[in-house]
Structure formats: structure tokens, C-alpha cells
Amino acid sequence: MEKAIAPFEFRQCASILKATGEKAKNLRELREIIARVSDEAIFHHTYQYFLKGHIYQYTNDFAQWAGESLEEEALAEHLSVIDPYEFKTMEDLRGALLAVIDRYLEDFPEPREAMSGDEFHFNETITLIFPVGIRAKNLAEFLMAIKYVDAGSIYYHFYEARVRLGGGIDDFSAWIETSLDKKDLAEKVRAIDPFMHSIEEIRKHIIEVVEKEARRDMEVV
Amino acid sequence: MISDYAGITPKGDLQLLQKLGEKLRNKAFLHINSTRAGGGVAEILQRMIPLLQEIGISARWEVIEGDDEFFNITKKIHNTLQGNLDHISKEMWGHHYEVNKRNAEKINLEADAVLIHDPQPAPLIEFRKTGKWIWRCHIDASNPLEKVSDYLRRYWEKYDAAIFSVARFARSMPIDEFIIAPSIDPLSEKNRELSDQEISEVSERLQIPRDRPIILQVSRFDRFKDPTGIIKAYKIVKKYNDCILILAGSPATDDPEGEEVLKEVKECAADDPDIFILLLPPFSDRDINALQRMARVILQKSTREGFGLTVSEAMWKGRPVIGGAVGGIPLQIVHGVTGFLVHSVEGAAFRIRQFLNNPDMAIRMGEKGKEYVRTNFLITRQIRDYLSVWYALENKGRDILEL
């Protein structure tokens, strides 16, 4: 008898924004607040950047603000290279952000101020996770579902999962490898760079690799 | 009907609404504001209450009553919170409190969650009975007259949480502060889909020629909306591209400068037959909808703005939008992606020319803009967020909530 495949249950997350009341108008204030603000605020301004649709120029809110509001583009580039998924704890990530800012402040001790009204506001989020009522039992159903679900669901399984699972692993590739036993396909999904695409582009790339595999399976039959 | 939003709003928003409806089923959710009709708050409440009831929540909407003196005082409070200079005497604060006290005796304040809209009914917190109390600030209070905000603080700090439209409107307070953007209703007369016939009917009635591209701004004739700046931008564009300019709006009756601004606008337009200044009566929602759908480019060239929801209304029609980089406009227009932000008359002229000469880019940005509104600024998202705040307050201390 064939082994029963555990279905993939699609879930989704939505966040509500909470103000911390902290705001920075220049780089020194930003540094000082990053050093003491909650882990949740650091999490929001880095990991959750992609939930916004990734239509901005950089890869986290701090870099975006440095580039757009302070016009310190070199700093924005340095901050953009920080990969939050490389760090085991939020403290390590916080340390990496501070190290980049400190290095920049050594070279340019008097960076400019943001215009009034354009300060950096530190926020946190409360995240609600819910099932979307879609279940895939095989690759063909998975392909249908991935085309259908909201971007918030792709975010939850592709980005948020990396924090939950660690090691650069997302829910999709984990299921493809363990439940469908398709290691090569899982590797292809894992090879999609989360930083270089919007959620919709991620969706497109997943569809591309999964469709190719599903077609091959069908042709063998 | 909530099912009417299926296929329009993101599926996830509707699913989360249903889930939150299950969690908060039969619980009482009371909204209180100070007007039953007129203004964005009343408009959204009219739509929101039946939708909340439909998902199983026992939603109620009450309106406080007051005399002319009360509303004169609350107008002063409103204006000073937005940074205007004025004085509110001890007696005025006393009357503000007394009117709320009288209302508290008449209104049933028992509920599981109470959402108080704006400063007029803020003192009702002194008469709270049960449930979570949330104060919702719809106005731009980022630079208030400190004396006034300091006084109101005695009420605000007694709430369980406050909600602001934009992060920079939030105050430093010892209570939870949430950021929830306002929203538009895609099914309202101002935003619903219109047939070609309906659009033509409006263009014929208003005698708008459709043979050349239309540049449009819908706003009150108010200096902060920069109508004369728009005419100057149009005149620059006109040297290169034949087009029509429509400035549509109602005269600002509560603004003594309104008439004067309109006169300036007419003078600035001079006798150019391609500039249409349309004075629309209140409730011209369908005409505004049709004008937006006729336009090739829509402007909101404000120099000062609250949230500026007219930007989302324009983006919802899939039209490319150019906005002043003020207030909540940059939250809606992501520069170069969902539209263009401008800082000058010349900037507006340059971006209009870009859109007129690059129809593919105009279509692409218009589509991106519509999608951005769909995911961020529709009424279903706002209701979802209100319920999420309530649910989060019921589960205080947790930042991840599984439903």
C-alpha cells in the first residue's frame, strides 16, 4: 500500500501595527533607539519588510529610511546587505545593525537630519495567523493552490517560515521534501532568493518550477 | 452584504473577518461619534455596522447630542489639534464634559468593546461601565496645540488603547497605540464600477469633451489643495500636449476663504475654453466617479493634507495619480511605483507630460496603484483591523495570535 501523504494546509498571516512612540530624526537617534527598542520592533522593521509588498528600493525599513529620508545612500546599501535570516537571535541581528551604523558614523560623524514629518517611527506588530481553508494532497493540487492563495499566505509560508524553521527553510520546500519525497524540487524552491523578488514574483517562480515537475510526472504516466 | 465583496477585496481579509466574527460572536461592539451623516467617519460607519452584524457581532452605533455651543467648542478642539491657534477656556472644557455626561445618562454604554471616534465624545470614558474602551483619532494630530492635547490627555490615558491613521499622528502615551489607515468602500456610489453608458451620460450632462486627454483634480476650492498651482502646471503641459483640465469640487462653505480662492482660480483660468471648473453639489458621488474614470491623469497636488483618501479613490479607478508629498499621500503613492509624488508646479507638469507621452507606463502604474489600494485601503481591511485590535486587547501580552 502507498504511504499516505500528509496534506499541505495553507495558512495566512495578517498584522496590525502598534506604535512604540519612539522616533528618530537623525542617524545618532536611530542608533540609540535601535539599541534599546523591543525585539518585536526590530523584527517588524527587518523581517516583516517583505509583507509590505516589497516595492521599495532596499531590503529593510532602516535602509529605506537611510536612503530615502537621510539620503545616505552608501549606508542604505550597507544596511541592505544584512540578511536577517543569518542570525540565530534578535540580539545578534540588532548587533549587526548597530555595527554597520557605528562604522558609518566613524567615517561620517555628522550625517544629515530628516525633514520634519519624515522621522523614523518605530513600530511593532501583532500578528494573527489563520487557516485559509485550502489543502493540497499532491503536487497538482499544490500548483492550483499556489496560483489561488493571497500574497499574505505566500508570505507566511515562504518568509515567516524561515524564522520558525530556521536554516533558510520555508514551509513549501519542507513539505515537498518530506511529504512528496522530491528533494530536487525542494532544492529548486529553496534556491529562489527571498530578497530579490516581490511576493508576486516569488509566486511566479514557485509556479514555474512546480509546473515543470508536475508536467514531467504526468508525462511519465 | 459581505458576499458582495468576494472577488473584490483580498480573500484573506474576508476569511479573517469570518474567523474573528466566530471568536467574538454575539459580543457587543459599540461605536460612538458625533454625527449621523456627513463626513468620512459617518460614511464608513453606515457601511461597517451592517457588515459587523452579518458576521455575528452585536454592533451598535450611537451618536452624541449637543447644543451649538458644544459643537463650537469641539470645532475649536478639532482645529487646535490640527495645529491652529485658539483658546479653550475652563468653562468651555466644563461644557464639553457636561454635554458628554448628559449623553452618558441617555446612551447604553454597556458593551464588550467601545470605539469612541474623535475628540467630541472622548470624555465618555469617565462613565465607562464594562468592556475594552478604544479611542479612535481620525484627524492629523501630529502638531497639536500642546495646551489642548495636554488637557485631553486626562481622557485619552484612561482608555485601553488608541488608534491613529498614520504612525506620525500618534502621541507618546502610556496606553497601547495602534496604527490603522482609513479606507474606501469599493461598492459605494463613488467607487463602484460604472458602465460606459453611465460615464457618457455624465460627460454629456456636464458638457465635457472626450476628444482629448483629461487631467483632473477633485477637491474643495481650498488653498492647501493648490488649484491655481494646477492651472499653472496645466499651462506648462499645454505647450507640449493638447489636453483638458477639470477642477471639480464643492465650494468650501465653512471656509471664509472659499469664495476668494474660487475667484482666484477663475481669474487664473482666464478664458481658456479647455479649463473646466465644476462646482458640484454635495452627494455628487456618481459624477465624481465618472469624472475619475474619464480622466487620463488624476492629481491631488495638496500642499497640506490629512490622510488624503481621494488619492485612494482615484487609484481605485486604475488611473495614474500624481500627488503632493504631504500628509498621508506618500503612504498611498509609492513614488515611481503606484504613482508620482511631486513638490512643485514644475514637478506636477513634468509628471503629467510623462504620463501623457508614455501610455504604457501610465497603464502599468495605474494597475499597480489599484492593486495597492485593494490590498491596503478597502473597508474590509479596516473592519478586520478594528476587530483585530479588539481581539488583541482580549489577549493582551501576546504578539502572535493563532485563530
CATH class given for the domain over B2-183+378-394: alpha beta
Q: Check B338 against A18: CB less than 8 A apart.
A: no
Query: Which residue in B12, B178, B389 is closest to A153 by CB distance?
Result: B12
CB contacts of A121 in chain B (<8 Å) are 167-168, 170
CB contact at 8 A, B56 and B23? no
Reported ipTM: 0.88
Q: CA B302, CA B321: separation in Å to the nearest integer?
A: 13
Query: Which helix (H) or strand (E) segment is A197 a member of?
Result: none
CB contacts of A149 in chain B (<8 Å) are 11
CB contact at 8 A, B163 and B147? no
CA A111 distance to own-chain centroid = 29
Confirm or reject contact between A53 and chain B (CB < 8 A).
yes
Render pLDDT for A26-61 as a digit per residue (tens, 0 to 9). 999 999 999 999 999 999 999 888 777 656 678 899
Q: CA A186, CA A108: separation in Å to the nearest integer?
A: 45
Return the ∠ at Cα B50 (arms to B44 and B55), rounded to 5°. 115
Q: CA B77, CA B83: separation in Å to the nearest integer?
A: 10
Q: What is the percent of chain B where pLDDT is above 90? A: 79
CA-based nearest distance A13→chain B, Å: 9
Residues of chain A whose pLDDT is less than 50? none
- Give the pLDDT confidence score for residue B39 in this predicted structure: 72
Q: Check B173 against A21: CB less than 8 A apart.
A: yes
CA A184 distance to own-chain centroid = 23
Q: Check A18 against B177: CB less than 8 A apart.
A: yes
Query: Which residue in A40, A126, A150 is closest to B392 by CB distance?
Result: A126
Cα separation values, A163 from A4, A86, A90, B152, Å = 28, 10, 11, 42
Confirm or reject contact between A123 and chain B (CB < 8 A).
yes
CA-based nearest distance B42→chain A, Å: 23
Is residue A2 classed exposed, middle or buried when 0-12, 13-18 and 19+ CB atoms within 10 A define those classes?
Answer: exposed
Nearest CA in chain A to B371: A53
Q: Among B307, B331, B399, B403, which would you mutate to test the A interface (most chain A Cβ atoms within 10 Å of its Cβ)? A: B399
Nearest CA in chain A to B165: A17
Q: Check A123 against B11: CB less than 8 A apart.
A: no
Interface of A with B in 174-193 (CB under 8 A): none
Confirm or reject contact between A61 and chain B (CB < 8 A).
no
Q: CA A22, CA B398: separation in Å to the nearest integer?
A: 21
CB contacts of B334 in chain A (<8 Å) are 55-56
Q: Is the pLDDT of residue B253 over 70?
A: no
Q: Which three cell numbers stand for residue B176?
A: 497601547
Q: Check B167 against A17: CB less than 8 A apart.
A: yes
- Give the pLDDT confidence score for residue A184 in this predicted structure: 96
Q: CA B190, CA A143: separation in Å to the nearest integer?
A: 38
- Give the pLDDT confidence score for residue B22 in this predicted structure: 96
Confirm or reject contact between A56 and chain B (CB < 8 A).
yes
Query: Which residue in B15, B337, B372 is closest to A130 by CB distance?
Result: B15
Using the 8-state DSSP alphabet, how is residue A86 labeled? G
Answer with the residue of higher pLDDT: B171 or A114.
Answer: A114
Every domain of chain A and the residues it spans: 8-12+130-220, 15-124
Q: Which three cell numbers stand for residue B211?
A: 476628444
First to last CA, chain A: 19
Q: Check A150 against B16: CB less than 8 A apart.
A: no
- Among the four given CATH numbers 3.40.50.2000, 3.40.50.1980, 3.40.50.720, 3.40.50.170, the one describing domain B196-376: 3.40.50.2000
- Give the pLDDT confidence score for residue A53 in this predicted structure: 63
CB contact at 8 A, A3 and A136? no
- Residue type for position B86: D
CB contacts of A21 in chain B (<8 Å) are 170-173, 177
- Which residues of chain B form CATH 3.40.50.2000? 2-183+378-394, 196-376
Instruction: Map residue A119 onto helix, strand or coil.
Output: coil
Confirm or reject contact between A160 and chain B (CB < 8 A).
no
Confirm or reject contact between A140 and chain B (CB < 8 A).
no
- Give the pLDDT confidence score for residue B300 in this predicted structure: 96
- Give the pLDDT confidence score for residue A108 in this predicted structure: 85
Render pLDDT for B113-148 as a digit per residue (tens, 0 to 9). 999 999 999 999 999 999 999 999 988 888 889 999
Confirm or reject contact between A150 and chain B (CB < 8 A).
yes
Q: Is the pLDDT of residue B157 over 70?
A: yes
Interface of A with B in 15-44 (CB under 8 A): 16-19, 21, 23, 40
Q: Which three cell numbers stand for residue A100?
A: 554597520
Q: Is the pLDDT of residue B254 over 80?
A: no
Q: Check B11 against A132: CB less than 8 A apart.
A: yes
Render pLDDT for B202-244 as a digit per residue (tens, 0 to 9). 999 999 999 999 999 998 888 889 999 999 999 999 999 999 9
- Give the pLDDT confidence score for residue B255 in this predicted structure: 62
Render pLDDT for B57-93 as a digit per residue (tens, 0 to 9). 999 999 999 999 999 999 899 889 888 889 999 999 9
CA-based nearest distance A16→chain B, Å: 7
Render pLDDT for B176-192 as a digit per residue (tens, 0 to 9). 999 999 999 999 999 99
B41 falls in which pLDDT band (50, 70, 90)? confident
3-state per-residue secondary structure call for chain B:
CHHHHCCCCCHHHHHHHHHHHHHCCCCEEEEEECCCCCCHHHHHHHHHHHHHHHCCCEEEEEECCCCHHHHHHHHHHHHHHCCCCCCCCHHHHHHHHHHHHHHHHHCCCCCCEEEEECCCCHHHHHHCCCCEEEEEECCCCCCCCHHHHHHHHHHHCCCCEEEECCHHHCCCCCCEEEECCCCECCCCCCCCCCCHHHHHHHHHHCCCCCCCCEEEEECCCCHHHCHHHHHHHHHHHHCCCCCEEEEEECCCCCCCCHHHHHHHHHHHHCCCCCEEEEECCCCCHHHHHHHHHHCCEEEECCCCCCCCCHHHHHHHCCCCEEEECCCCHHHHCCECCCEEEECCHHHHHHHHHHHHHCHHHHHHHHHHHHHHHHHHCEHHHHHHHHHHHHHHHHCCCCCEEEC
Nearest CA in chain A to B331: A52
- Give the pLDDT confidence score for residue A59 in this predicted structure: 87
B382 falls in which pLDDT band (50, 70, 90)? very high
What is chain B's mean pLDDT, rounded?
Answer: 93
